[in-house]
Amino acid sequence: MNVMSMQRHTRKMPHSLPEGRAPLRRPGAGLPYLDAVSATDSMEHENQRLSAYEHQVKHTFDRIIPCVRKLAAIQYEEDFVPLASERIIDELDLTPPTDVLQKAWTRQLDVKQLVSHLTLATYYRFVSGVQHVNPLAHPQCADFVSFLADCGYHRMDITPCADGRLAHVIRYVLRLPAEVVRRKAYAGAAFAVDDNVAKWAEVELKRQQSAPGTNTKYLKVVAYHFSSIDGEREGCAAHGSDDRKAAEFGRDALLGFKNAVAQGFSRPDAVEGLLIGIDTATDSIVLHTPDLEGSIDIDSSLQSTDCVGMSSDKIRAYVGSYASHSSEGMQRLVSQLIENNLAQLAYVKTNHDGCYPDVGHAERFIGIGVGFDEIQLRNLMYFGYLTTIEEGAPDVDVGLKIFKGLNQSRGLSTPIVIRFDYYGSVAGARERAVARAGRVADALKSRYPDHFAAGDIHYLQLSRDLDTRAAPEFLGSNLPSLTEDNLS
């Protein structure tokens, strides 16, 4: 089966969600189905739980624009400041940026600044709450690690495209535990081979110390994307919506990583690659599995949509027929991934009639740096994993191009969260994280001076100690209204 020959559909779909939204309180708080799911919970209950969480978080962000529109309509009222403050508290559960509101009577309300402030403040509340609730906790982390080992792998590392429509690839699309599956996103899934070799070496050292002699592999997965709806425009922006180019790039990146480990460490069999394509309109997946030598043929694939209605045994038989060139462990893993994805297809069918209404980009903000593991939701954030702007420039460029259509076309700014997480138990780690956040902010200003001069970029700098469940530390912002006091 060839994903490249998948039928194209051209019916137009809205590129953003409706603005009328409901729940008012902190994202993830006080909802049904947000309890940590037990290992015996049904797919239906799990889907209800995931749906409740997704709708709560997105609705909280999507209430911002309607709220600001109401405020803009009354900005010249004599009691505007107290009235606006009350609405922000009641509708968004945020501390009002009083200084922005107070200037409205002498000059027009700064809508760009207000929307950015409220968006970034909402993100801060969201991430602070997630540290305590962990609403997407997976019930079977230990079981998955054991299953992965039985398949012949000791670590699963996924690189999706930075496109926000793939941000939910682990917890939703593949139904895997985000706690134990590594994710680092790059524009076009163009991961840095050197960074991945360093991570492999780190994992390998720990593995040899804790479990010497075990004969398992490091599984590297690249997730590219395409769209069965308006695919000529809604494919991967980094690859010009060329599905084949995206798949070929992912295949070549996997081979480059495998060869780098083989040549640098004389370990030709240490790494195995798996290429997954995701239809961002429906969340269905195609899988290109490696042969016993590690080669991947992008013209050969398995499709989860072929398996709808199949039992587990029939799925395994299907995989055995179309992936007989792969190892038994890879076949077993892929069979489980297809079965997991069928739960996501049921989710999309129940909640969106089988196809997302926001086929195109609808991200609410950009996140850059190292962190953001709590973002497991589709089309919420465009993410660029980087330590410097120089190395991550392609990711940021693509993100700003996307937000030129999403926000700047409407007279709004692009909200950016700059975040660097660290382990407080490591000496000097916090100081290095703070310094990196500062350097990235400075580099943003240098690379995009016109954006900053026009007020088209507003950023928030954060860091978080991964050894604790504390809220992220506020480091700074180019919004005068955004301070540590009004985030707490």
Distance of CA 423 to the CA centre of its chain: 22
Inter-residue contact 121 to 415 (CB < 8 Å) = no
| CB neighbour list of residue 423: distance below 8 Å, 6 or more residues apart | 429, 465, 466, 467
Contacts with 1 (C-beta within 8 Å, 6 or more apart), sequence order: 286, 300, 301, 302, 303, 306, 322
Q: How many CB atoms lie within 10 A of CB 308?
A: 14
Angle (deg, nearest 10), helices 429-447 and 389-406:
60
Distance CA 403, CA 440 (A): 19
User: How far apart are alpha carbons 121 and 484 in whole angstroms?
Assistant: 10
Active site residue 163: yes
DSSP one-letter string for 290-332: B-TTS-B-TT--EEGGGGTT--HHHHHHHHHHH-TTS-HHHHH
Residue 413 buriedness (CB in 10 A; 0-12 / 13-18 / 19+)? buried
Cβ contact 384:187 at 8 Å: yes
Closest CA to 461 of 479, 445, 477: 477
Q: With contact defined as beta carbons under 8 Å apart, do 274 and 289 qualify?
A: yes
Token pair in block for residue 229: 């709806």
Q: In the β-sheet with 302-303, what is the strand arrangement from edge to edge?
A: 182-183, 153-160, 217-226, 271-279, 285-288, 302-303
Q: Tokens for 146, please give them.
A: 């054991």
Q: What sign for the dihedral angle of Cα 164, 434, 473, 86? A: negative
Instruction: Starting at the earlier edge strand, list the strands of the sheet with 414-422.
Output: 381-385, 365-370, 414-422, 457-465, 473-477
Contact in structure between 420 and 472 (CB atoms under 8 Å): no
Residues 6 or more apart whose CB falls under 8 angstroms from that of 313 comprise: none
Residue of 163, 230, 283, 358 with catalytic role: 163
Distance of alpha carbon 349 from alpha carbon 25, whole angstroms: 28
Token code pair at residue 451 = 């954006």
Instruction: Round to whole Å and give the CA distance between 26 and 61.
Output: 10
Active site residues: 163
